[in-house]
Amino acid sequence: MKRQRRRAQREGGASAARRRGGPSPVDRLQSYLVSHLQTAKEALRRMRRTPFAMALTLLVIAATLALPTSFHVLVKNLRMLGGDLEATNEISLFLKPDLSNDVGRRLAERLKSHVQIAETRLVTKEAGIEQLKTYSGFGEALSALNFNPLPVVIGIRPKDSLTQPGQVERLVAELKALPEVDLVQSDIQWMHRLHALLQVAERSFGVLGALLAAAVVFIIGNTIRLELYGRREEIVVQKLLGATDRFIRRPFLYTGFWYGFLGSIGAWIVVGVMLLIVRAPIHQLNVLYGSDFALAFLGFQETAALIGIACFLGIAGAFVVLIRHLQDVRPD
């Protein structure tokens, strides 16, 4: 009992000291956070009082944000698909016609140890002529030949790390310098075209994203401006009572935040629905072409970036309008 009494006396003395010296930093921080939380809740309640207008505005924001987001997902999947295609790109080495299958076999074994080569595949002269008879449609004519005109061919699959056209070009130049090689066939042009198209798509995504970000700022800013004029009398009373512009701006900034946050969630759902719609045709193409490509959605970091950018745009749109129009609302 004595210990409890002494503890109560110490706590009472500490609380009295806090009252004499004013609120502690922890109390001020707690009061600040509670005030902002209440303001955020009140801003959301005000939005819900006009559900039709709120839903229409959120629909427009979600559609605007969904356009660059879906474009980003498209570029992301194209880059993944391009990486898969590049990883499976094969280089064909046509050896000199007078070289035997044994020479080609030894060269294929030697090339397996190359740091940039993942796999080699030997096509002998006999296997080559049989494939030509089967798929060319000139089987009878080829059977009439008394010699085999085809050379030994070595198929080479570069390692997955070779994703740039310049790296493949250097490997092709190295293979051409081999004394046994007569011709090297590698379709590098399509890799250049693919990278160029991806660069154009990424830059287009940047321009489109900037334009639509400005559109989101305009949409939210215009919504805040209408709400500002609708609450003009309330703001006048607050200014007469001594409220600062900073205090008056706070609920409008949270309104912009909610529009950006909820609009980003709507955009995330729209993009997800679009991917679900096209997933079945993509699966059919995978079955037809024997591919294991899978559509990629927004990752955690990308989703967080979408929400963060949308919230920033909402606050920025509200802030720009408030800076411009709040000074016009003055007590007469």
Give which of 274, 286, 325, 300 is closest to 74, Cα–Cα. Answer: 274
Give CA–CA dist 294/275, Å, rounded: 11
Give which of 243, 267, 217, 257 is closest to 329, Cα–Cα. Answer: 243
Structure tokens at 221: 């800013």
Give CA–CA dist 49/44, Å, rounded: 9
Give CA–CA dist 101/123, Å, rounded: 9
CATH label of the domain that carries residue 153: 3.30.70.3040
Q: What is the pTM of this model?
A: 0.66
Sequential DSSP letters for 54-114: HHHHHHHHHHHHHHHHHHHHHHHHHHHHHHHHHHT--EEEEE-TT--HHHHHHHHHHHTT-
Asked if residue 164 and residue 252 are part of one domain, the reply reads no
pLDDT tens across 264-315, in order?
A: 999 999 999 988 888 888 877 777 666 667 778 888 999 999 999 999 999 9
Asked if residue 299 and residue 246 are part of one domain, the reply reads yes
The domain boundary residue, chosen from 168, 186, 204: 186
- Distances, alpha carbon 47 to alpha carbons 66, 258, 262, in Å: 22, 9, 12
pLDDT tens across 215-257, in order?
A: 999 999 999 888 888 887 888 787 788 777 788 888 899 999 9
pLDDT tens across 18-50, in order?
A: 445 556 777 777 877 888 788 889 889 988 888
Asked if residue 72 and residue 200 are part of one domain, the reply reads yes
Give phi and psi for 55, each to the nearest 5: -65, -40
Full domain range(s) for residue 95: 90-186
